[in-house]
A and B are shown apart, each in its own frame.
Chain A
Amino acid sequence: DTGVSQDPRHKITKRGQNVTFRCDPISEHNRLYWYRQTLGQGPEFLTYFQNEAQLEKSRLLSDRFSAERPKGSFSTLEIQRTEQGDSAMYLCASSFAPRDTQYFGAGTRLSVL
């Protein structure tokens, strides 16, 4: 059990560029979650998957954001036409089933210049 893995750890990009983050959940965890955390705040829910199905998207997830989890394994979060307001830590979490503890990865810190 290697824990939740996220890549890259840091990403610096220019405004208007597209970025993609990857999350590898704990093996056999069926649920995968994305959260966003800005400085001095608690994480905010973005979206979650049950296996490959995306079951809920937060209002925070604008049309520029898209998340996928092909084959129910790793997940990607893409942000198109990045804006400075997208600068944040993007956290991925996984759990075995509903009502189980969510285990978090180390996050990807995005800085949009």
Chain B
Amino acid sequence: ELKVEQNPLFLSMQEGKNYTIYCNYSTTSDRLYWYRQDPGKSLESLFVLLSNGAVKQEGRLMASLDTKARLSTLHITAAVHDLSATYFCAVEVLSYNTDKLIFGTGTRLQVFP
């Protein structure tokens, strides 16, 4: 069964610093999502990566996908407090009899002054 692993699980970083969150998955998939979740809230879609080598950027966040390595990264540039949240990657599983997202365990990001 498909497994999705994220690391680190917790990330405490200072404002202005850069860091990368990693998402590894165990079987072939060509579609990967990144979601953000604030405490007690639902999931907000950030990026969908559709093919090998895909790169998307929004503000201080940039996501990439390497389907051959089964790896996606979420890079944070010059972190600010507003980015504090939990970030999930999710891999799509789609076939004739299934359609679902398999989520990683999440990376809880805390940005401090």
Knowing A42-B90, A91-B42, A107-B42 touch, does A102 contact B98 (C-beta < 8 A)?
no
A71-87 interface (Cβ within 8 A of B): none
Q: Is the CB of A99 within 8 A of B94?
A: yes
Q: Which residues of A contact B103 (CB under 8 A)?
A: 42-44
CB distance from A19 to the nearest CB of B (A): 19
| Other-chain residue from A42, A45, A91 in contact with B104 (beta carbon distance below 8 A) | A42
CB distance from B106 to the nearest CB of A (A): 5
Q: Does A28 contact B (CB under 8 A)?
A: no
Q: Is the CB of A56 within 8 A of B97?
A: yes
Q: Which residues of A contact B106 (CB under 8 A)?
A: 40-42
Interface size class of A (residues with CB under 8 A): 20 to 34
Pick from B48, B102, B103 the residue with the most CB of A within 10 Å.
B103
Q: Which residues of B contact A69 (CB under 8 A)?
A: none
B62-113 interface (Cβ within 8 A of A): 88, 90, 92, 94, 97-106
How many B residues touch A, CB cutoff 8 Å? 24
Q: Which residues of B contact A48 (CB under 8 A)?
A: 99-100
Knowing A42-B88, A99-B31 touch, does A106 contact B102 (C-beta < 8 A)?
no
| Other-chain residue from A35, A43, A55, A101 in contact with B99 (beta carbon distance below 8 A) | A55
Q: Which residues of B contact A103 (CB under 8 A)?
A: 45
Q: Which residues of A contact B98 (CB under 8 A)?
A: 56
Knowing A99-B92, A101-B48, A104-B42 touch, does A45 contact B31 (C-beta < 8 A)?
no
Query: In the complex, what distance in Å separates the CA atom of A41 from the CA atom of B42?
Result: 13
CB distance from A103 to the nearest CB of B (A): 7
Q: Which residue of B lies closest to A91 (CB)?
A: B42
Q: Is the CB of A45 within 8 A of B101?
A: yes
Query: What is A's interface to B at a CB cutoff of 8 Å?
Result: 31, 33, 35, 40-45, 48, 55-56, 91, 98-99, 101-107
List the 8 shortest-distance A-B pairs measured between CB atoms, nearest first.
A42-B103, A45-B100, A104-B43, A106-B42, A104-B42, A43-B103, A101-B45, A42-B88
